[in-house]
Amino acid sequence: MASFIIEGGHKLHGEIHPQGAKNEALQIICATVLTAEEVIVDNVPNILDVNNLIQLLRDMGVQVKQLASAKYSFKAEKLDTAFLESDEFLQKCAKLRGSVMLIGPLVARLGKVIYAKPGGDKIGRRRLDTHFVGIQNLGADLNYDKKKQAFVLEAKQLTGTYMLLDEASVTGTANIVMASVFAKGTTTIYNAACEPYLQQLCRLLNAMGAKISGIASNLLTIEGVSSLHSAEHCILPDMIEVGSFIGIAAMTGSELTIKNVSYHNLGIIPDSFRRLGIVVEQQGDDIFIPAQASYQIESFLDGSILTLADAPWPGLTPDLLSVLLVVATQAKGSVLIHQKMFESRLFFVDKLIDMGAQIILCDPHRAVVIGHDRKVALRGNNMTSPDIRAGIALLIAAMSAEGVSRIDHIDQIDRGYQDIENRLNAIGARITRAE
């Protein structure tokens, strides 16, 4: 199992370019299954989760060509139905969280899908009820195959309907939207997720011939069509990586320019870092972070302690709370981090406490961070990455710490961050990969 050896205390300087958005890429690649014609996708990140999904599509019979380093062509002219009902397909799905978004396209295209419970991060319960109930609302039948330990969804003809989702699930909404494009009549989805990933998916589907309105809102209307055609699409920069780079600059006291961030798609991410006292300057479509000796956490107007909590878009994405928590450890002041969505995502704070951070873990969802104001540096430590976002948060902590740190199980980081050590080393970090 690979590890990172990090020599802390080095300042960074220069420019860094964010990769294509992981969460968008997974949705977009799954959507290519909806047409027999070629779909070209640009700015695809070279990361483990995306590469595994691309390989899964190849196994399904999709013709995949790499046109450039980050540009791919997908042509799902013929799908291997025998493979889609095999144990091998179920095993691969079980290992890959992103495969869950194949449910909608496969039901829409083939009228049947057999699907195992997916894998991915150990960050708490990630239920599939919204996905299955939504597609059932369109007229699909859901059964559980005990022998295969898999769900079976079948539908001769999906029919449009009105539905109110029980939660604004991003992947759930994506699945239902993709299933709805071929449904007879009109489908209305209320309490739909409206993250930029979803907006991009809807724009691609419309470019392929779908009729989706209400994009960027929580009320989507989809008029069913009989078929989709070829299209081209460019994936947005990864806003989680942009946020991670802001955190790295702040923690290491570095001057850093983050290039081509698609600023208007970042929502309240820049302001969330500003509330921790970090100067975040917009320069066209770039972000400039000046070197800061100190940064002070804001209080609420009534003087009470600041709370940063995740929420469905346009609220703060849960994927950045781990980074914000780490950044707060060296700020001046205190903040309550409230992770509402996942009950196991804050457990990595034990590692930060071992490094000298002052954190009170109140319960699985809440942690109070008391900032050191750089008076006490974090100490290097040996750690294990439990999930993608905790992994990058621990990497940020290690880069700012005194001494040498080791992070094991870094395949979790590789799942979401492309060539991260070489990109950071190019601007002054000291990170070595050890097998």
Residues with catalytic annotation?
A: 121
- Dist CA 316 CA 147 (whole Å): 41
| DSSP bridge partners of 369 | 335, 359
Handedness of CA 19, 21, 23, 27 (dihedral sign): negative
How far is 270 from 287, CA to CA, in rounded Å? 9
Q: Which of 121, 57, 132 is nearest to 89 (CA)?
A: 57
Query: Which amino acid belongs to residue 296?
Result: Q
Return the beta strands (E) in 19-160 as ranges. 38-42, 63-68, 71-75, 112-115, 141-145, 150-154
Tokens standing for 71? 């540009």
CB atoms within 10 A of CB 82: 9
Nearest CA to 69 out of 397, 419, 430 is that of 419
How many DSSP H helices and E strands does the chain contain?
Answer: 15, 23
Round to whole Å and give the CA distance between 69 and 221.
36
